[in-house]
Amino acid sequence: MLLFADNFALYGLGGQALMTQGVYADVNGSSLVDDPDPDSTDIVVRQQGSGGNISRIRYVLQNGGEDRVGMLMRFWLAVLPDTTNGAPTPFSWRDASNNVIATVTVSTTGTLELRNGDVTGTILYETPVPVITANGWYHMECWVDFDGLTSHVELRVEGRPVIDEDAAFTLVAECAQVVVESRVRSNFSSAPTQYIRDFVVCSGAGTHNTDFLGSVIVYDLRPESDVDLNWIPSVGVAGYPILAQSPPDNAEFITAENPPPAPYVCTITDLPPDVTSVKGIVAWVRAAKSDGGDATIQTGVISDPDGTPDTVLGEDRPITTAQTYWRDVFEEDPKTDAPWLPSAVNDANLQLNRTS
Protein backbone atom coordinates (compact mmCIF):
# COMPACT_ATOMS: atom_id res chain seq x y z
CA MET A 1 0.00 0.00 0.00
CA LEU A 2 1.30 3.42 -0.92
CA LEU A 3 1.41 5.44 2.32
CA PHE A 4 3.30 8.58 1.40
CA ALA A 5 5.20 10.28 -1.43
CA ASP A 6 7.06 13.59 -1.49
CA ASN A 7 9.31 15.34 -4.00
CA PHE A 8 9.69 18.40 -1.70
CA ALA A 9 8.71 20.89 -4.42
CA LEU A 10 5.51 22.22 -2.85
CA TYR A 11 7.31 23.77 0.16
CA GLY A 12 9.62 25.94 -1.94
CA LEU A 13 13.33 26.67 -1.44
CA GLY A 14 14.10 27.16 2.23
CA GLY A 15 10.57 26.09 3.20
CA GLN A 16 11.62 23.34 5.62
CA ALA A 17 9.47 24.87 8.39
CA LEU A 18 6.40 24.05 6.28
CA MET A 19 7.40 20.38 6.36
CA THR A 20 6.41 20.18 10.04
CA GLN A 21 2.87 21.45 9.41
CA GLY A 22 1.23 18.03 9.55
CA VAL A 23 3.75 16.20 7.34
CA TYR A 24 6.98 15.28 9.15
CA ALA A 25 7.40 14.85 12.89
CA ASP A 26 10.97 16.15 12.71
CA VAL A 27 13.12 17.93 10.10
CA ASN A 28 15.90 18.82 12.53
CA GLY A 29 18.97 20.19 10.74
CA SER A 30 17.57 19.52 7.25
CA SER A 31 17.13 22.21 4.60
CA LEU A 32 15.47 22.51 1.20
CA VAL A 33 17.95 23.49 -1.51
CA ASP A 34 18.50 23.27 -5.25
CA ASP A 35 19.43 19.85 -6.60
CA PRO A 36 23.24 19.43 -6.68
CA ASP A 37 22.86 17.78 -10.10
CA PRO A 38 23.59 20.59 -12.60
CA ASP A 39 21.14 19.07 -15.09
CA SER A 40 18.23 19.30 -12.63
CA THR A 41 16.02 22.14 -11.39
CA ASP A 42 14.45 20.11 -8.57
CA ILE A 43 14.26 21.00 -4.89
CA VAL A 44 15.86 18.41 -2.60
CA VAL A 45 16.54 17.87 1.10
CA ARG A 46 20.10 18.62 2.21
CA GLN A 47 21.49 17.01 5.36
CA GLN A 48 24.86 17.11 7.16
CA GLY A 49 25.42 15.96 10.71
CA SER A 50 28.30 17.50 12.64
CA GLY A 51 29.44 17.65 16.25
CA GLY A 52 26.43 17.06 18.46
CA ASN A 53 23.99 17.97 15.65
CA ILE A 54 21.87 15.54 13.65
CA SER A 55 20.22 16.27 10.29
CA ARG A 56 17.04 14.23 10.03
CA ILE A 57 13.61 13.87 8.52
CA ARG A 58 11.26 11.60 10.45
CA TYR A 59 7.92 10.45 9.10
CA VAL A 60 5.29 8.79 11.30
CA LEU A 61 3.21 6.16 9.50
CA GLN A 62 -0.39 7.38 9.37
CA ASN A 63 -1.86 3.90 9.84
CA GLY A 64 0.15 3.15 12.98
CA GLY A 65 2.54 0.21 13.32
CA GLU A 66 3.22 -1.96 10.26
CA ASP A 67 4.94 -5.33 10.11
CA ARG A 68 6.11 -4.82 6.50
CA VAL A 69 7.46 -1.44 5.42
CA GLY A 70 9.13 -0.23 2.23
CA MET A 71 11.21 2.96 1.91
CA LEU A 72 12.30 4.38 -1.45
CA MET A 73 14.37 7.43 -2.32
CA ARG A 74 17.04 8.87 -4.52
CA PHE A 75 20.18 9.42 -2.47
CA TRP A 76 23.30 11.52 -3.21
CA LEU A 77 26.51 11.80 -1.20
CA ALA A 78 28.88 14.68 -1.92
CA VAL A 79 31.80 12.54 -0.69
CA LEU A 80 32.17 9.26 1.13
CA PRO A 81 32.79 9.51 4.90
CA ASP A 82 36.49 10.12 5.57
CA THR A 83 36.33 8.38 8.97
CA THR A 84 34.18 5.76 10.62
CA ASN A 85 32.66 8.54 12.76
CA GLY A 86 30.62 9.90 9.86
CA ALA A 87 27.29 8.11 9.50
CA PRO A 88 25.22 8.80 6.38
CA THR A 89 21.98 6.96 7.08
CA PRO A 90 19.54 6.49 4.19
CA PHE A 91 17.33 4.07 6.14
CA SER A 92 16.29 3.88 9.78
CA TRP A 93 13.20 2.37 11.38
CA ARG A 94 11.61 3.20 14.75
CA ASP A 95 8.79 1.99 16.92
CA ALA A 96 5.86 4.05 18.17
CA SER A 97 7.88 5.24 21.19
CA ASN A 98 10.65 6.60 18.93
CA ASN A 99 13.09 3.81 19.79
CA VAL A 100 15.41 2.83 16.92
CA ILE A 101 14.88 -0.72 15.67
CA ALA A 102 17.48 -0.87 12.90
CA THR A 103 19.60 1.33 10.64
CA VAL A 104 21.48 1.21 7.34
CA THR A 105 24.65 3.30 7.15
CA VAL A 106 27.20 4.07 4.40
CA SER A 107 30.83 3.15 5.15
CA THR A 108 34.05 4.97 4.24
CA THR A 109 34.40 2.75 1.17
CA GLY A 110 30.78 2.97 -0.03
CA THR A 111 29.55 -0.35 1.32
CA LEU A 112 26.18 -0.45 3.08
CA GLU A 113 25.98 -1.65 6.70
CA LEU A 114 22.84 -3.07 8.29
CA ARG A 115 23.00 -2.28 12.01
CA ASN A 116 21.06 -3.47 15.02
CA GLY A 117 19.61 -0.31 16.57
CA ASP A 118 21.07 3.10 15.68
CA VAL A 119 24.30 4.15 13.94
CA THR A 120 26.38 2.91 16.90
CA GLY A 121 24.79 -0.54 16.84
CA THR A 122 26.41 -3.82 15.87
CA ILE A 123 26.83 -4.41 12.14
CA LEU A 124 24.68 -7.44 11.31
CA TYR A 125 25.58 -7.46 7.61
CA GLU A 126 27.82 -5.46 5.29
CA THR A 127 27.73 -5.60 1.51
CA PRO A 128 30.85 -7.43 0.27
CA VAL A 129 31.65 -4.71 -2.27
CA PRO A 130 31.03 -0.93 -2.43
CA VAL A 131 27.65 0.03 -3.88
CA ILE A 132 27.69 3.83 -3.38
CA THR A 133 30.10 6.39 -4.84
CA ALA A 134 30.22 10.15 -4.49
CA ASN A 135 28.41 12.76 -6.59
CA GLY A 136 25.68 10.72 -8.20
CA TRP A 137 22.02 9.94 -7.57
CA TYR A 138 21.23 6.37 -6.55
CA HIS A 139 17.72 4.95 -6.44
CA MET A 140 17.57 2.95 -3.21
CA GLU A 141 14.66 0.80 -2.05
CA CYS A 142 14.48 -1.24 1.13
CA TRP A 143 11.71 -3.51 2.40
CA VAL A 144 11.73 -4.94 5.91
CA ASP A 145 9.49 -7.62 7.39
CA PHE A 146 9.39 -7.02 11.14
CA ASP A 147 8.61 -10.58 12.16
CA GLY A 148 9.15 -11.22 15.83
CA LEU A 149 12.63 -12.40 16.74
CA THR A 150 13.77 -12.80 13.13
CA SER A 151 13.11 -9.94 10.73
CA HIS A 152 14.04 -9.90 7.06
CA VAL A 153 15.73 -7.03 5.23
CA GLU A 154 15.96 -6.72 1.44
CA LEU A 155 17.66 -3.66 -0.06
CA ARG A 156 18.19 -2.86 -3.73
CA VAL A 157 20.31 -0.12 -5.29
CA GLU A 158 19.43 0.78 -8.87
CA GLY A 159 17.32 -2.36 -8.93
CA ARG A 160 20.23 -4.62 -7.94
CA PRO A 161 19.85 -6.65 -4.71
CA VAL A 162 22.67 -5.79 -2.29
CA ILE A 163 21.20 -6.99 1.03
CA ASP A 164 18.80 -9.94 1.38
CA GLU A 165 19.22 -11.18 4.93
CA ASP A 166 17.41 -12.36 8.04
CA ALA A 167 18.20 -10.15 11.03
CA ALA A 168 17.63 -10.58 14.76
CA PHE A 169 17.00 -7.06 16.03
CA THR A 170 17.17 -6.50 19.76
CA LEU A 171 14.03 -4.38 19.68
CA VAL A 172 11.13 -6.59 18.61
CA ALA A 173 8.41 -4.23 17.43
CA GLU A 174 6.35 -3.12 14.49
CA CYS A 175 7.68 -0.17 12.52
CA ALA A 176 5.76 3.04 13.23
CA GLN A 177 8.24 5.64 11.96
CA VAL A 178 10.86 5.89 9.22
CA VAL A 179 13.90 8.18 9.24
CA VAL A 180 16.54 9.47 6.83
CA GLU A 181 19.38 11.16 8.65
CA SER A 182 23.00 12.26 8.73
CA ARG A 183 24.77 12.03 12.05
CA VAL A 184 28.13 11.32 13.62
CA ARG A 185 29.42 8.93 16.25
CA SER A 186 31.77 11.52 17.78
CA ASN A 187 31.19 15.16 18.72
CA PHE A 188 34.55 16.03 17.14
CA SER A 189 33.71 14.87 13.63
CA SER A 190 31.28 15.57 10.81
CA ALA A 191 29.45 13.56 8.19
CA PRO A 192 29.51 14.30 4.46
CA THR A 193 26.69 16.30 2.93
CA GLN A 194 23.87 14.15 1.62
CA TYR A 195 20.74 14.87 -0.40
CA ILE A 196 17.45 13.01 -0.93
CA ARG A 197 14.51 13.34 -3.31
CA ASP A 198 11.59 11.19 -4.56
CA PHE A 199 10.87 9.94 -1.04
CA VAL A 200 8.20 7.19 -0.87
CA VAL A 201 6.89 5.00 1.95
CA CYS A 202 4.77 1.86 1.47
CA SER A 203 3.44 -1.00 3.57
CA GLY A 204 2.66 -4.65 2.97
CA ALA A 205 -1.06 -4.10 3.61
CA GLY A 206 -3.62 -3.78 0.82
CA THR A 207 -3.52 -4.90 -2.81
CA HIS A 208 -1.08 -2.57 -4.58
CA ASN A 209 2.48 -1.41 -3.91
CA THR A 210 3.23 -4.14 -1.39
CA ASP A 211 6.63 -5.11 -2.81
CA PHE A 212 9.50 -3.55 -4.74
CA LEU A 213 8.28 -0.68 -6.93
CA GLY A 214 11.50 -0.14 -8.87
CA SER A 215 12.76 3.24 -10.00
CA VAL A 216 9.94 5.71 -9.33
CA ILE A 217 9.73 9.48 -9.66
CA VAL A 218 7.36 11.63 -7.61
CA TYR A 219 5.82 14.27 -9.90
CA ASP A 220 4.25 17.48 -8.66
CA LEU A 221 0.97 18.03 -10.56
CA ARG A 222 -0.39 21.50 -9.75
CA PRO A 223 -3.88 22.98 -10.31
CA GLU A 224 -3.92 24.36 -13.86
CA SER A 225 -7.39 25.83 -14.39
CA ASP A 226 -10.69 26.27 -12.56
CA VAL A 227 -13.57 24.01 -13.59
CA ASP A 228 -16.09 24.92 -10.86
CA LEU A 229 -15.07 27.96 -8.83
CA ASN A 230 -17.58 27.54 -6.00
CA TRP A 231 -15.22 28.92 -3.35
CA ILE A 232 -14.20 32.58 -3.00
CA PRO A 233 -10.63 33.65 -3.94
CA SER A 234 -9.10 36.20 -1.57
CA VAL A 235 -7.45 37.90 -4.55
CA GLY A 236 -8.17 37.91 -8.27
CA VAL A 237 -10.94 36.02 -9.98
CA ALA A 238 -9.45 32.49 -10.12
CA GLY A 239 -8.64 29.84 -7.54
CA TYR A 240 -6.02 27.71 -9.26
CA PRO A 241 -3.13 30.25 -9.25
CA ILE A 242 -3.54 30.58 -5.48
CA LEU A 243 -3.54 26.81 -4.92
CA ALA A 244 -0.57 26.29 -7.24
CA GLN A 245 1.77 28.64 -5.36
CA SER A 246 5.03 27.27 -4.00
CA PRO A 247 5.66 28.12 -1.25
CA PRO A 248 2.08 28.85 -0.19
CA ASP A 249 1.20 32.46 0.64
CA ASN A 250 -0.87 32.68 3.83
CA ALA A 251 -2.31 36.00 2.66
CA GLU A 252 -3.87 34.38 -0.42
CA PHE A 253 -6.41 31.57 -0.20
CA ILE A 254 -9.79 30.32 -1.37
CA THR A 255 -12.63 30.24 1.15
CA ALA A 256 -15.69 28.01 1.51
CA GLU A 257 -18.56 29.89 3.11
CA ASN A 258 -20.82 28.45 5.83
CA PRO A 259 -23.07 26.62 5.08
CA PRO A 260 -20.62 24.84 2.77
CA PRO A 261 -20.91 25.47 -0.97
CA ALA A 262 -20.50 22.91 -3.75
CA PRO A 263 -16.96 21.51 -4.20
CA TYR A 264 -14.21 23.53 -5.81
CA VAL A 265 -12.98 21.63 -8.91
CA CYS A 266 -9.85 22.17 -11.01
CA THR A 267 -7.76 20.53 -13.72
CA ILE A 268 -4.16 19.49 -13.06
CA THR A 269 -0.98 19.56 -15.10
CA ASP A 270 -0.14 16.52 -17.21
CA LEU A 271 2.42 13.87 -16.43
CA PRO A 272 5.57 13.88 -18.59
CA PRO A 273 4.96 11.96 -21.85
CA ASP A 274 7.51 9.24 -20.99
CA VAL A 275 5.59 8.05 -17.90
CA THR A 276 4.34 4.52 -18.55
CA SER A 277 2.75 3.55 -15.21
CA VAL A 278 1.34 5.20 -12.09
CA LYS A 279 1.67 3.86 -8.55
CA GLY A 280 -0.92 6.23 -7.13
CA ILE A 281 -2.14 9.79 -6.71
CA VAL A 282 -1.45 11.61 -3.45
CA ALA A 283 -3.78 14.61 -3.10
CA TRP A 284 -2.38 17.32 -0.81
CA VAL A 285 -4.23 20.26 0.74
CA ARG A 286 -3.04 22.89 3.21
CA ALA A 287 -5.95 24.31 5.15
CA ALA A 288 -6.99 26.31 8.21
CA LYS A 289 -10.20 27.81 9.56
CA SER A 290 -10.67 31.40 10.71
CA ASP A 291 -12.50 30.81 14.01
CA GLY A 292 -13.20 28.22 16.68
CA GLY A 293 -16.18 26.57 15.02
CA ASP A 294 -16.19 23.05 13.57
CA ALA A 295 -15.03 22.54 9.99
CA THR A 296 -14.02 19.53 7.93
CA ILE A 297 -12.75 19.27 4.36
CA GLN A 298 -12.41 16.42 1.92
CA THR A 299 -10.32 16.01 -1.23
CA GLY A 300 -11.39 13.94 -4.19
CA VAL A 301 -10.21 12.87 -7.64
CA ILE A 302 -12.69 12.87 -10.52
CA SER A 303 -11.93 10.32 -13.24
CA ASP A 304 -13.19 10.93 -16.80
CA PRO A 305 -14.76 14.31 -15.94
CA ASP A 306 -15.68 14.98 -19.59
CA GLY A 307 -17.34 11.60 -20.04
CA THR A 308 -19.13 9.65 -17.33
CA PRO A 309 -17.40 10.91 -14.18
CA ASP A 310 -16.48 8.69 -11.25
CA THR A 311 -15.14 10.27 -8.07
CA VAL A 312 -12.95 8.75 -5.35
CA LEU A 313 -13.00 10.62 -2.05
CA GLY A 314 -10.51 10.93 0.77
CA GLU A 315 -11.24 11.17 4.47
CA ASP A 316 -13.01 14.04 6.18
CA ARG A 317 -10.25 16.16 7.70
CA PRO A 318 -10.97 18.20 10.85
CA ILE A 319 -9.17 21.48 10.19
CA THR A 320 -8.05 23.87 12.93
CA THR A 321 -6.93 27.49 13.08
CA ALA A 322 -3.35 26.34 12.37
CA GLN A 323 -2.31 25.86 8.74
CA THR A 324 -1.92 22.10 8.30
CA TYR A 325 -1.18 19.80 5.37
CA TRP A 326 -3.45 16.81 4.79
CA ARG A 327 -2.90 13.99 2.30
CA ASP A 328 -5.06 11.27 0.79
CA VAL A 329 -3.71 8.39 -1.31
CA PHE A 330 -5.67 7.03 -4.27
CA GLU A 331 -4.09 3.91 -5.74
CA GLU A 332 -7.00 2.98 -8.03
CA ASP A 333 -8.96 4.73 -10.76
CA PRO A 334 -12.62 4.63 -9.58
CA LYS A 335 -13.80 3.93 -13.14
CA THR A 336 -11.74 0.75 -13.51
CA ASP A 337 -10.96 -0.30 -9.91
CA ALA A 338 -7.41 -0.81 -11.22
CA PRO A 339 -4.22 1.25 -11.00
CA TRP A 340 -4.33 4.61 -12.76
CA LEU A 341 -3.20 4.87 -16.36
CA PRO A 342 -1.16 7.97 -17.20
CA SER A 343 -3.84 9.09 -19.67
CA ALA A 344 -6.51 8.86 -16.97
CA VAL A 345 -4.40 10.94 -14.58
CA ASN A 346 -3.93 13.59 -17.28
CA ASP A 347 -7.70 13.76 -17.82
CA ALA A 348 -8.59 13.78 -14.12
CA ASN A 349 -9.85 16.72 -12.07
CA LEU A 350 -9.26 17.43 -8.38
CA GLN A 351 -11.99 18.59 -6.06
CA LEU A 352 -12.03 20.17 -2.61
CA ASN A 353 -15.18 20.10 -0.55
CA ARG A 354 -16.02 21.59 2.83
CA THR A 355 -18.09 18.85 4.38
CA SER A 356 -19.06 20.63 7.61
237 and 341 part of one domain: yes
According to the model, what pLDDT value does residue 293 have? Answer: 83
According to the model, what pLDDT value does residue 135 have? Answer: 95
Whether 213 is in a domain gets the answer: no
229 and 190 part of one domain: no
59 and 165 part of one domain: yes
Which residues in the chain land under pLDDT 50? none
List the domain range (segments joined by +) for residue 40.
2-203
Whether 67 is in a domain gets the answer: yes
Whether 216 is in a domain gets the answer: no
Looking at the structure of the chain, the number of domains it has is 2
176 and 271 part of one domain: no
180 and 236 part of one domain: no
According to the model, what pLDDT value does residue 185 have? Answer: 82
Whether 338 is in a domain gets the answer: yes
137 and 13 part of one domain: yes
Beta-sheet strands, E only, within 229-356: 232-233, 254-255, 264-268, 281-287, 296-303, 310-313, 317-318, 324-330, 332-333, 338-339, 349-354
Q: Can you give the pTM of this predicted structure?
A: 0.96
307 and 173 part of one domain: no
193 and 81 part of one domain: yes
According to the model, what pLDDT value does residue 211 have? Answer: 98
Inter-residue contact 202 to 141 (CB < 8 Å): no
According to the model, what pLDDT value does residue 188 have? Answer: 67
Among candidate residues 139, 168, 203, the one where a domain is terminated = 203
252 and 184 part of one domain: no
- CATH number of domain containing 128: 2.60.120.560
- 189-222: pLDDT as tens digits: 789 999 999 999 999 999 999 999 999 999 999 9
- Measured CA to CA, the distance from residue 114 to residue 92 in angstroms comes to 10
According to the model, what pLDDT value does residue 14 have? Answer: 96
